[in-house]
A and B are shown apart, each in its own frame.
Chain A
């Protein structure tokens, strides 16, 4: 009897879950379960991965550095206020000059892209389209892939790669570059790369994007979300398990224009938390103004199934 009741409860629960998750019932777009692993070298170095973070924005440190935080009783992980205890840098971590976005894969390799900070002094122009990889086991950073330049870099655009992210569903890396673009020519490319053989499986050309991320849409199809650095618009496209984009499915998801304290933010980072779309917005004008002058706003959107559009529920 007890077993039977439990079975009935389980069945009911299953049906409820099925109803909630079945896409045709107008459900939300939602995140892909994270798969990223901590790099093994953190433990090898004697640090607790839970109390460390990799950073590319430490004052006086060029490149990437590992921050070890002071452990606090009663806390499981550091917060923004947790004091830093130590900063570690592997000798290879500053070889590429200043870096920006970081992404991890499922075995703990770290991928990062270069971005000049304030001046071009420490970044080589010819390396602006190079993705760097820190090996999960030994912590050594090296050039991973050199992506082609759509046009010769010029003084009108000091940037190349801007965004990078990892697809935890089918294990592809996405990277966006604006190298070679200028005011009147949008020459950016979004690449989907197979990290096993470093081959590009597909790309979107002539589009300047910064924030890139993956999630399931309301039909449970995996989409790549990418934010324009020219308009504040965020688009998406269905990507299959072979790393091919179905370009016919490209659609505009939302625009940041007019939102937030500035009104002209561009999507620097795109990620999902459950069924919420989180967008870090900041100003971007293809110049070298210091990041400290570019306050960032986190916009939280929720999918309005009936209206089939995103609704802003919060920004701060």
Chain B
């Protein structure tokens, strides 16, 4: 279902180019999966026994009165007593449950040790050897709680909660991380052999533990590392989701680079999709696709059954305005995660998925998602871009906001640029009397009073004397949750001898115009040019108003509770036109 995340060809080509200019060897990165899965992708069923057991254990512990896995590896009775004392204290257990709903969160005590001199706060007195340090990790909040208990007086003498902090992991989790890494087919493929329990090193050392982060997911991650000669394969393992996040080769040595989730994701996406043009050939369709620096995922050279259909299509801008505050909002460009002008970036590779209707595959979809770092937190954004291609020659260009933004009074206005193939194009609008040609550059808003033909088409574009496409705007009929496009459409002449927006565009419009001035109007001349028998560009700007009310959430996202941790629920607002070939 998913594209392979290996892009060895791309990396090899890139390496060749890079090596001409730099002497440093660029390591290969492989990013495997995403923690924000959800839109159109079902969660993968776990088959490894150690993960199934781990999940069962979590389920069982969440049913206990205190949702905490105790530490039983070392320390014997004294360690158990220390935990008992700590867990009896309401300050130590403050975050065991969701503070609002009271639902149990997944917690684990990672270690119990004799307190160190630095742990003992001023004024605390005790008998020698009486103080023990209890370290507990809260997976849902990525929070560490450290309690100092006096096992003689049976009291908790101090406790502190540390957000975004992770204690040293216990041996059981080291083993789990190693098992996940060793049994991952991706690790075997990268190494060229299946490793065994003796091969991964570093997973138990503080170095690996502290110098490996899952910055985006804020999950507990460690990196079992496999050394081959002067290279090391880092396998980043997410112990919150119990899965392999990705792989990365590094050079060993004192200045060896630190591998983190974000670095690996960014470099994989940049190597494989920003700096390499990929191609699809499927269901009669052929096209190239590229992740741009600021115009989203661009498709180009699109043909169907060997006939040229599109020169290119892309998503130039997202304009977000908030009605409560005059002039408040953002113009977001979407694109590559590094070395780009994107404000909301692609962190995961594009996906190709089959479109199934009834029991038949009717086409395929190409999707790219973009995220702010702290999404779905307030004032953070996520967008999706989807291209649908059907076996019968139809295609649809869509996008969605997936919230959450800075408020519940926001309107999203994405700007599509769609360039059809052909040098003798003509454009028509449906009117009462039938199809009427637009003879000059122009724009128009889709309104409740807009007329459509009997099939629901509003416009038609002819590419030549034989081939034409109808344009069917969103009216809530596409079964993707979209409530209608309410779109501005702009028709501009495409001068082949000057840049009419073909190259990567900087932000072309401000956040907060509520009229047609969204940027494409700048390509309409003061004296509108003729649009008869010439190259044309369509600009399409739907308008989606967000909503956070229960039952009608739209362009929205929020976290929800599941099995002791928080996950994300998305309410995307998809918009965009369908193009239907005229038979």
Q: A residues engaging B (CB < 8 A)?
A: 59-60, 118-121, 125, 155-158, 182-185, 257-258, 261-264, 283, 285-290, 292-294
Q: B residues engaging A (CB < 8 A)?
A: 17-18, 21-22, 164-165, 210-213, 215, 257-258, 260, 262-263, 266, 270, 275, 292-294, 325, 327-328, 330-333, 336-345, 372-374, 379-380, 504, 506-507, 509-510
A309 to chain B, nearest CB (A): 13
Task: Judge whether A118 and B330 touch: CB under 8 Å.
Answer: yes
A-B contact count (CB 8 A): 117
Task: Judge whether A120 and B343 touch: CB under 8 Å.
Answer: no
Q: A155-B340, A288-B333 are in contact. Are A184 and B17 (CB under 8 A)?
A: yes
Closest Cβ neighbor of B21 among chain A residues: A184
Which residues does chain A contribute within 8 Å of B343, judged by CB atoms? Answer: 118-119, 287-290
Which residues does chain A contribute within 8 Å of B339, judged by CB atoms? Answer: 156-157, 182-183, 285-287
Which residues does chain A contribute within 8 Å of B165, judged by CB atoms? Answer: 261
Helix, strand, loop or mixed for chain A's interface? loop
Task: Judge whether A287 and B341 touch: CB under 8 Å.
Answer: yes
Q: A286-B339, A290-B343 are in contact. Are A264 and B507 (CB under 8 A)?
A: no
Which residues does chain B contribute within 8 Å of A155, judged by CB atoms? Answer: 292-294, 340-341, 504, 506
Which 5 A-B pairs rank lowest in CB-CB distance, beginning with the nearest? Answer: A258-B211, A263-B213, A119-B507, A155-B293, A293-B373
> Which of B17, B379, B507 is packed against the most chain A CB atoms within 10 Å?
B507
Which residues does chain B contribute within 8 Å of A288, judged by CB atoms? Answer: 333, 340-343
Which residues does chain B contribute within 8 Å of A286, judged by CB atoms? Answer: 338-340
Task: Judge whether B330 and A262 touch: CB under 8 Å.
Answer: no
B358 to chain A, nearest CB (A): 42
Which residues does chain A contribute within 8 Å of B327, judged by CB atoms? Answer: 60
Distance of A60 Cα from B338 Cα, bound (Å): 26
Which residues does chain A contribute within 8 Å of B164, judged by CB atoms? Answer: 261
Q: A264-B260, A294-B373 are in contact. Are A258 and B341 (CB under 8 A)?
A: no
Q: A184-B22, A293-B380 are in contact. Are A287 and B510 (CB under 8 A)?
A: no
Distance of A206 Cα from B340 Cα, bound (Å): 20
Q: A261-B164, A264-B260, A289-B372 are in contact. Are A121 and B507 (CB under 8 A)?
A: yes
A198 to chain B, nearest CB (A): 30
* A–B pairs, 30, beta carbons within 8 Å: A59-B328, A60-B325, A60-B328, A119-B330, A119-B333, A119-B506, A121-B506, A155-B292, A155-B293, A155-B294, A155-B341, A156-B293, A183-B338, A185-B21, A257-B211, A258-B258, A261-B215, A262-B213, A263-B213, A263-B215, A264-B215, A264-B263, A285-B337, A287-B336, A287-B339, A288-B341, A289-B343, A289-B345, A289-B372, A290-B372
Helix, strand, loop or mixed for chain B's interface? loop
Distance of A125 Cα from B380 Cα, bound (Å): 26
Which residues does chain B contribute within 8 Å of A157, judged by CB atoms? Answer: 339
Task: Judge whether A264 and B262 touch: CB under 8 Å.
Answer: yes
Task: Judge whether A287 and B331 touch: CB under 8 Å.
Answer: no
Cβ-neighbour of A289 out of B18, B275, B373 (below 8 A): B373
Task: Judge whether A119 and B331 touch: CB under 8 Å.
Answer: yes
Which residues does chain B contribute within 8 Å of A283, judged by CB atoms? Answer: 215, 262, 373
A216 to chain B, nearest CB (A): 27
Which residues does chain B contribute within 8 Å of A183, judged by CB atoms? Answer: 270, 275, 338-339
Which residues does chain A contribute within 8 Å of B333, judged by CB atoms? Answer: 119, 288
A130 to chain B, nearest CB (A): 18
Task: Judge whether A120 and B330 touch: CB under 8 Å.
Answer: no
Closest Cβ neighbor of B263 among chain A residues: A264
Closest Cβ neighbor of B509 among chain A residues: A121
Closest Cβ neighbor of A181 among chain B residues: B339
Closest Cβ neighbor of A185 among chain B residues: B21
Distance of A257 Cα from B18 Cα, bound (Å): 23
Closest Cβ neighbor of B262 among chain A residues: A264
B559 to chain A, nearest CB (A): 17
Closest Cβ neighbor of B336 among chain A residues: A287
Distance of A288 Cα from B333 Cα, bound (Å): 8
Distance of A262 Cα from B294 Cα, bound (Å): 25
